[in-house]
Structure 1
């Protein structure tokens, strides 16, 4: 990545109204297809570790 590219603004996808279930691969793919550079996601510990 060049210095010029590093200085460009980044678009971050955060929870928004859309037809996809949150924190799924489909929702992240849709965010990137819509132009997001970064996606925010939640991570939860499960009972089985």
Structure 2
């Protein structure tokens, strides 16, 4: 799970997005919130499958 999170964070902060982040720092929080909510949903879904 940690590897998935690290991979998604790497994609989030890829070089293509640095231009946007430099212009608008709120983009960082928007992306972090979207990624974290997606990870949370995947984690909950995964634990339900395991049970």
- State if a TM-score over 0.5 links the two structures: no
Q: Using structure 1 for the length normalisation, give the TM-score.
A: 0.35
Structure number with greater Rg is 1
